[in-house]
Amino acid sequence: MLRLFLKEHAAFMVFQAVLVAFITILYWLDGFRNMDTAIYSFVISILLTSAFLGARYIKRYRYYRKISETPVSMEHMLQKEGRSPEQIQNDLYLHKLYKVYQNEAQALYAAQSRHLQFMNQWVHQMKTPISVIQLLLQNPDELDKNSVSEEIERLKASLDTVLMNARLDTFEQDMQIEKVNLHSLAREIITENKRLFISKQVYPVIEVDENFVAATDRKWMKFVLGQLITNAVKYTFEKDKKVYITASCHNSHMNLSISDEGIGIPSTDLARVTKAFFTGENGRKTAESTGMGLYIAKEVCERLGHELTIESAVGQGTTISILFSNQDTVS
């Protein structure tokens, strides 16, 4: 601690020595050449400087001891040992820095916990399609290719969800904003999910102007719309129902909606369906629910600057809308 103190005040001691030497030489050149007075002045200067430094060291002793010890935990920085204005301000700075550290550590821990929980659920759910495929292969009769294809599609969809969830942490690096034609994007998603529509006997209706374009990331928005459309079909249990994909534009604000005629979302669950791993009452009706689809969709929309809203009534269906602000209507 003493060595640290001397290093910190080395420049001050050198300055004091130079100052005393300068004054002594100045008096000597001016004709005051009494050696006793010069020696007396020099000794008094040393004593006063030493007393000042000694008092300053005693005042800063606890602070030097704190910063010289090896900390055993992050809470060590919360000890208030400062006495001078500079030390007090430094303590306040360390407290603020500790809060920043806590927030970042909690965010990292939450992200790791979310990834771990999601992976555990995903691995558990992947056992179902794999088991179904194994049973189909063991069947001595002719292999049902349609059933195998359906299970493979489920595996692919789940893999896409895992990959997108992992990429959320590096979203800004993976994002690429471009003008996307909403009509062609909707048709592309419907085509990719036609097997799901056929198996559920639900029919898609696209009511999107062919000239409507939105500034967004095509890959991420395709994933979001795919999640919303598959959810709409998955929670429509009655046959011959429809899923509507509509778009409207007003004052350069474009609204894209996916509406279904399914079972709807209970009002008690509506505010929580976009939370991670929340499955709610409807999620318990299907073993495929992970509680991550709407969560990722909400996260992606927020990071892209789009607003996602959900309206639903039990027994009447659900409408999920994405608002694109400041958009063009003609590509």
Asked whether the predicted pLDDT for residue 11 surpasses 70, the reply is yes
Residues 190, 290, single domain; the answer is yes
- The reply to whether 263 falls in a domain is yes
CATH number of the structural domain spanning residue 252: 3.30.565.10
- Number of domains making up the chain: 2
pLDDT of residue 20: 85
Residues 194, 317, single domain; the answer is yes
- The reply to whether 86 falls in a domain is yes
pLDDT band at 221 (very low <50, low <70, confident <90, very high): very high
Residues 89, 230, single domain; the answer is no
Q: Which domain holds residue 204?
A: 175-324
pLDDT of residue 130: 85
pLDDT digits (tens, 9 = 90+) for 161-185: 888 877 887 787 878 899 999 999 9
Q: Are 171 and 303 in contact (CB under 8 A)?
A: yes
Count the Cβ atoms, other than its own, within 10 Å of residue 289: 20
Residues 94, 182, single domain; the answer is no
Radius of gyration of the chain (CA): 35
- The reply to whether 12 falls in a domain is yes
Q: State pTM to two decimals.
A: 0.64
Q: Which of 75, 98, 121 is a domain's end point?
A: 98
Q: Enumerate residues 6+ apart whose C-beta is below 8 A from 229.
A: 189, 190, 193, 204, 243, 245, 258
- The reply to whether 194 falls in a domain is yes
Q: Are 153 and 315 in contact (CB under 8 A)?
A: no
Residues 199, 299, single domain; the answer is yes
Residues 81, 190, single domain; the answer is no
Average model confidence (pLDDT) across the chain? 83
Q: What mean pLDDT is predicted for residues 306-313?
A: 93
Residues 181, 320, single domain; the answer is yes
pLDDT digits (tens, 9 = 90+) for 133-165: 888 888 877 777 777 887 887 788 778 888 887
Q: Which of 98, 118, 139 is a domain's end point?
A: 98
Residue type at position 10? A
CA 76 to chain CA mean position, Å:
28
- The reply to whether 304 falls in a domain is yes
pLDDT of residue 330: 47
pLDDT of residue 244: 96
- The reply to whether 226 falls in a domain is yes
Residues 74, 213, single domain; the answer is no
Q: Which of 45, 66, 98 is a domain's end point?
A: 98
- The reply to whether 89 falls in a domain is yes
Cα distance between residue 58 and residue 306, in whole Å: 60
Residues 267, 182, single domain; the answer is yes
Q: What mean pLDDT is predicted for residues 191-219?
A: 91
Q: Is residue 235 packed enough to be buried (19+ CB in 10 Å), middle (13-18) or exposed (0-12)?
A: buried
Residues 86, 204, single domain; the answer is no
Asked whether the predicted pLDDT for residue 98 surpasses 90, the reply is no
pLDDT of residue 82: 61
Residues 319, 183, single domain; the answer is yes
- The reply to whether 277 falls in a domain is yes
